[in-house]
Each structure stands twice: as structure tokens, then as C-alpha cells.
Chain A
Amino acid sequence: MMQVTLYSNDEIKGLRAPIIFIGLPDVGLVGSIAVSYIIDKLNMREIGYMDSDLLPPVVLVKDNIVKNPIRLYASNNNNDIIAIISDVPLPSSLAIQFAKNITLWLKGIGARLVVNITGIPVQNRLQIDKPQVLYVLTDTDGSLLNMGSTKAVGLGDGIIVGVYAAIIRSCIVSKIPTLTLLAQSHLNFPDPFASIEALEVVNKALTLDVDLSELKQEAELIRIRTRELMKQTSSMLTEAKATPTFYG
């Protein structure tokens, strides 16, 4: 078996030049929380999954249905959108192969833009009421997006490590434009408020209309329900020494 294999159903054929949201467990679970919320609010359908021998032997059961931990969802209500989430932190040994396979697949379906959502840890996060969102663009002059209407600022100088870095590099090779959003966040605590800020940017930059009120109301419960994933992710980041440098 290849290190990572992707399986999808025929619904994928109906999508035209989709935008891809990727939310994987890392700093503050910012991407996981944000992309899971998009899936829920846009009523996206599950269209496939990714598997690998390198993933821990875990399956999830939701409403009596067994689910793979890395899943793909799609929506073609307004915009053609695909979302990729994982319920387990990805081992660093899987990052490059994961990125290469997903990019190959995205190229094949004519992906228009990949939106990576993640966190950037800040030491004084407790003192910050509204986390700042930073962004990085590749292979696009921004004409696909309306970044000017958002409060996000360019990363300037910095370093991105881990699976998102692998995805960005792989997309550059495949000439797929990427937007990476990095919201200031807690390092080891789930940070739905950072996810909210990242989604505010998504809404404006891509003229989506994801209603964020439920995420704001449920933030405390989300923090409790994502504790296990946060703990596993923190352990994985420490083990892989892939914790991004503190920003600010």
C-alpha cells in the first residue's frame, strides 16, 4: 500500500474548479474547529477519505456509522467547495506523502484555490481579545480573493512548519494557488475564538456567508469537546518538534 491513499465517490465529478479548505489538528486546533464548522454550516456531504498504514489504528463511530479519521466533504450549493479534516493528528512521517497525494488529486479535479487554516502561537494570547489573522499567498496575485476587505495582514517574515508547509510546497510545484491563514492562538488549548477570526477573513476574502453566531455561542463547549484531540496533537507536536516558533 502507498503511504497515503485517497478514496472518493462519484459526487466529485459534479464539482467544477472547487475551492479546498484544509483543517488539520495543530496549534490551538484553529483549522480543525474552523473547517468542521464550515462543513456543518454548509451541510457538506462526505465524499471520501484518506487512509494510510502510518495512521494510528482508529476509526470513529458517529450515529452508528463508522468513519475514517481523515475525511473529505463537498458542497455545490453556491460555490463548489471541498473540505478536508482529520480527527487524529497527522504523524510528521506522513506529512510529505499526505501533501503530495492530496495535491496530485486536487490537480486532477482542477482545484481553483487551497485555503489552509491554522494557528500561530502567541505567548500573550490571554491578553489579546481579538486575535490577529496573518496570511500567506502563493501562485496568486490575490485577484481570486478580496483580501483588502479583511483585517488580515501579510505574514511578512516568518516560518511555517509541519503538514501545512508540505501542502504549500506541493501546491507550488503543482501550480495550485494557496491562501494560508494563521490566526494568533493558544498553543496547547483549543482556541475557537481564533477560528472565528480566521472564518471572518474567509467570509470576506471569498465572499462566503458562513454564519458564525453558533460558533460564538458554542465556543466553551467546543473547547471541552476537543480536549482529547488537543492533548494528542500537543503530544504529537512535541514529539515531532514541529511546534511553530512563538510569534510576537
Chain B
Amino acid sequence: MSSDIFDMIDEMDRRIRRLMDRVFSDVSLDLYDMERRELKPLTQIYETDEEVIVTLDLPCASKDGIELKATEDTLYIKAKMDRCVRISNIDFENYSKSIRLPTRVDARNAKASFKDGILQVRLPKKFEGNDIRIE
């Protein structure tokens, strides 16, 4: 009997969490680092057979204020905004984000371009493995 009650409470808890997730998703967590007063840019990741293409929306940033680093599985971006933007009474002046890539990449041969406040980084996929001989 008591285990039934706990099951019911667990189920209720799960439902509430699902509802909260649906209502608020994790939008705020995804877009702001309140402690460090940094915006996390909207990001789109797209894969072709050869590349991982990461596109980031960086309004109010300029090419010279962007720092980009990549390892074989993560892309790091930091960018300074050309003005201070106040959101919910907090002043933001920088973007920052660490993006886990969907597959391993050859970071040394990555290329980036910046236009109209949008940064696009193209990272060639790392192909590893052995050739298989067809008999």
C-alpha cells in the first residue's frame, strides 16, 4: 500500500516536471549565464557527409571581438558585444558558449566566416578507421 502511494507521488512528480519542462523548457538556461553576465548565442548545427557546420547568431558583435577555439569534439566561442544590453535588469556585454560537436572533427582545418552578426564555422569531419579490402 505504502509503495503504491510512493509510486503515485513519483508519477505526479514526473508529470509536474514534464509540464514545467514543456512550459519553460530550458530556454533561459540555454540562453543566459546570469552569474557571468554572458549571453549564450542561438546555435544551429548541421552535418554534411564531410563537415560539421555550426552557425551562431551574434548580433551586436564584430569580427575583431570574436575568439574561437576548437578541439576534436568541442567548439568554444567568446565574443564581445559593441554595446551593453540590459535584459531583466542585468547588463550583458559578452557572448560565450561551449558546443559539444556531434562527431569528431579535424579542428586544424576548420574555417570560419562572419557576416551580418552571424558566425559560421565549418569543421571537416575526422575520418578514422582501416580500409576494408573486398575479396
Q: Which residues does A use to contact B, with CB under 8 Å?
A: 56-58, 126, 186-190, 193, 219-221, 223-225, 227-228, 230-232, 235
Q: How many angstroms from the CA of A57 to the CA of B16 in the assembled complex?
A: 13
Which residues does chain A contribute within 8 Å of B57, judged by CB atoms? 186, 189-190, 223, 227
Question: What 0/1 pattern do residues 107 to 135 of B give for CB contact below 8 A with A?
Answer: 00000000111101000000000000000
| Interface SS majority for chain B | mixed
Question: What 0/1 pattern do residues 95 to 106 of B give for CB contact below 8 A with A?
Answer: 000000000000
Q: How many angstroms from the CA of A223 to the CA of B31 in the assembled complex?
A: 13
Task: Pick the contact of B42: A56, A57, A225, A231 (CB < 8 A).
Answer: A231
List 10 additional contacts besides A220-B60, A228-B31, A231-B25; criterion CB under 8 Å: A126-B55, A187-B44, A188-B44, A190-B57, A193-B116, A223-B57, A223-B59, A228-B27, A231-B31, A231-B42
In the complex, B87 has a CB within 8 A of chain A: yes
Q: How many angstroms from the CA of A230 to the CA of B42 in the assembled complex?
A: 9
> Which residues B27-82 have CB closer than 8 A to chain A?
27-28, 30-31, 39, 42, 44, 55, 57, 59-60
In the complex, B12 has a CB within 8 A of chain A: no
In the complex, B85 has a CB within 8 A of chain A: yes
In the complex, B23 has a CB within 8 A of chain A: yes
Q: Which residues does B use to contact A, with CB under 8 Å?
A: 22-23, 25, 27-28, 30-31, 39, 42, 44, 55, 57, 59-60, 85, 87, 115-118, 120
User: 5 smallest A-B Cβ distances: which pairs?
Assistant: A223-B59, A220-B59, A189-B57, A56-B23, A231-B27
Which residues does chain B contribute within 8 Å of A235, judged by CB atoms? 25, 27
Q: How many angstroms from the CA of A179 to the CA of B117 in the assembled complex?
A: 31
Q: Can you offer 26 A-B residue contacts whose CB atoms are under 8 A?
A: A126-B55, A126-B115, A126-B120, A186-B57, A188-B44, A189-B42, A189-B55, A189-B57, A189-B118, A219-B59, A220-B59, A220-B60, A220-B117, A223-B117, A224-B39, A224-B60, A224-B85, A224-B87, A227-B31, A227-B39, A227-B42, A228-B31, A231-B25, A231-B30, A232-B27, A235-B27
Nearest residue (CB) in A for B24 is: A56
Q: How many angstroms from the CA of A227 to the CA of B58 in the assembled complex?
A: 11
Q: How many angstroms from the CA of A219 to the CA of B117 in the assembled complex?
A: 11
Which residues does chain B contribute within 8 Å of A193, judged by CB atoms? 116
Task: State how many angstroms separate the Cβ of A90 from the closest Cβ of chain B.
Answer: 14
Which residues does chain A contribute within 8 Å of B60, judged by CB atoms? 220-221, 224
Q: How many angstroms from the CA of A224 to the CA of B31 in the assembled complex?
A: 10
Q: How many angstroms from the CA of A220 to the CA of B82 in the assembled complex?
A: 11
Would you call B23 and A58 a contact (CB within 8 A)?
yes
Q: How many angstroms from the CA of A186 to the CA of B41 in the assembled complex?
A: 15
Which residues does chain A contribute within 8 Å of B28, judged by CB atoms? 228
Which residues does chain A contribute within 8 Å of B85, judged by CB atoms? 221, 224
